[in-house]
Chain A
């Protein structure tokens, strides 16, 4: 059997709180990261992606602490990204409990980072995230870096091929203009990336209704669909999304309720050297 399609919840953390974004600009503050993750982990999401999107690095130590606390309560795969520029940054996220890391600007500026992650931790550990806009490149899609603020002139297809060759295990693709617009994924972009790579593709950005998730899988051909904003405003949202996709006939893990046996405590468990 092929692996099941995945439903991924994305959390964007800005200066220590979860935020919503629109066209890559933080808009609303959603609130506490731990509460959000507890909620997603309890319900049916298959994976959680957490990205630190602040402009500066000041919030990173606190973010690492948050990742530690999250991973202690997260029993689905956890991918973490934000300002990874070298293997030490990768290691700090993994030590904090991430199963995979998400690289974007750092990998674009120094592609050997992807190779380094592959060699040290394996391809399965490396998600290359790519922010794209319409541009004057051969494919019509151009890579953007620095939270979608900086143009590069690079053809998105060239970059995704290079990333795969260097050892990316998955690619996460977002269109800057579609982010937060509630009109669905840029299906043309997703389809194009899927057609040009052999690694799993995660579609992200723009989900405004459950049908958009289905489109990402069927019309976009994505292996996994991610959404952030939409999950914050509906009760039982991830379960409803999962149930919708299951009734549409997609092969997915069943929406299963899982309540952790132990309630969350404030106690801090260090990652290494317990006892």
Chain B
């Protein structure tokens, strides 16, 4: 199994992601400095918090070019979780900030869709395709969500691998080449989430 680097950019729940990988007995380390990126063929970009702050921190730590460089090598993988997932997109309504721009579309507020915001709790997630990340799971699967923003544009053919509905559909999961991202928290979604994380640890880098 390739060693996984958890990107520490000073925001969010690194602890629970780390605990999950430790419980799965997966090899991992924390990426604290820009020069440490080269050690890892798989990265996890976790996060809970504000989009602007997240991008500002990644930028201040000089992590942005490192993430792009990591992804230029198609054998290297990246998994974004929650805020880490949202930052893969072009931009966000949250503070009107620019994202990493790896995926199309803008992250939008869930407000004004007739449901309570933030969206907190377990929700059904449809997994329309058989994918490497969701092997062993049946659709729909229940995952745990905590977020106030989402990508509500679900026209991402060949990229969308999971959808959730909360006052309208939004992207729950994507897979595009060597980039994976999930809006929910696998590290807090018990059996289904741990299965997904285990799958990620087992995807070969090639």
Contact = CB atoms under 8 A, between A and B. Distances in A.
Interface of A: 1-4, 6, 41, 46, 71-77, 95, 97, 99, 121-124, 169-170, 198-200, 223-224, 252-254, 256-258, 260-262, 269, 271, 274-275
B166 to A, nearest CB: 7
Contact of A75 (B50, B121, B165, B193): B193
Interface string B137-179: 0000010111010000000000000001110000000000000
A97 B23 CA distance: 15
Given A1-B124, A3-B120, A77-B188, A261 B19 contact: no
A105 B119 CA distance: 27
Interface string B185-199: 001111111100000
A224 B164 CA distance: 20
A199 B19 contact: no
A274 B116 contact: no
B85 to A, nearest CB: 16
Contacts of A199: 116
B24 interface: yes
A4 B22 CA distance: 29
Interface of B: 13, 15-16, 18-20, 22-25, 29-30, 48-50, 115-116, 118-124, 142, 144-146, 148, 164-166, 187-194
A14 B165 CA distance: 41
A11 B191 CA distance: 22
Nearest to A3: B121
A230 to B, nearest CB: 21
Contacts of B24: 261-262
B122 A75 contact: no
11 contacts: A1-B123, A3-B123, A75-B187, A75-B188, A95-B15, A122-B49, A122-B50, A123-B118, A199-B116, A256-B190, A262-B24
A80 to B, nearest CB: 13
Given A1-B166, A77-B144, A124-B148, 20 more contacts: A1-B123, A1-B164, A3-B119, A3-B145, A41-B190, A46-B122, A72-B23, A75-B194, A99-B13, A99-B188, A169-B118, A169-B120, A253-B122, A253-B142, A256-B191, A258-B190, A261-B24, A269-B22, A274-B18, A275-B29
